[in-house]
């Protein structure tokens, strides 16, 4: 497909977009937070522990088992301790921001491919309500 050829206009503009993202000061700040987290073994272990415990409790609930008050309190205490860890909290915020950027860009490109033109603001708003209301048949 010539649109995907390395020297095509589309790929050239894609590379420009990627360069703009990589050069953006906000992006760089987010990546610094991710890197700081990745270098902090204690924060990574704490994060992983809370994630695993969350999954365990979720599976237990899905199996129809009730969670004990102690289990919930222990999890909440571990989660609060994680949130008070600045490195871990900044990592989670950065991760969420990066995922939002990726989602927004993907949505914008996806709507462009569907419409065959650059989406207007109302096109983006229409897409947000579509699946939530079940009106487009995509849900």
Tell me if the pTM is above 0.85: no
Please give the DSSP secondary-structure letter assigned to residue 67.
P
77 has a pLDDT exceeding 50: yes
Q: What is the pLDDT of residues 23-39, one digit of tens each?
A: 999 999 999 999 999 99
Q: CA 103 from chain center: how many Å?
A: 7
The SS3 assignment for 39 reads: coil
């Amino acid at each position: 497909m010539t649109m995907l050829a390395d020297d095509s206009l589309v790929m050239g503009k894609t590379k420009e977009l990627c360069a703009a993202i990589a050069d953006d000061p906000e992006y760089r700040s987010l990546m610094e937070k991710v890197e700081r987290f990745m270098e902090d073994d204690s924060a990574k272990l704490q994060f992983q522990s809370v994630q695993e415990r969350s999954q365990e409790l979720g599976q237990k609930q899905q199996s129809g088992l009730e969670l004990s008050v102690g289990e919930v309190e222990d999890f909440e205490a571990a989660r609060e301790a994680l949130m008070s860890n600045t490195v871990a909290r900044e990592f989670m915020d950065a991760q969420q921001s990066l995922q939002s950027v990726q989602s927004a860009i993907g949505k914008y490109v996806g709507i462009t491919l569907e419409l065959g033109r650059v989406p207007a603001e109302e096109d983006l708003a229409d897409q947000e309500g579509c699946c939530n209301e079940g009106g487009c048949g995509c849900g």
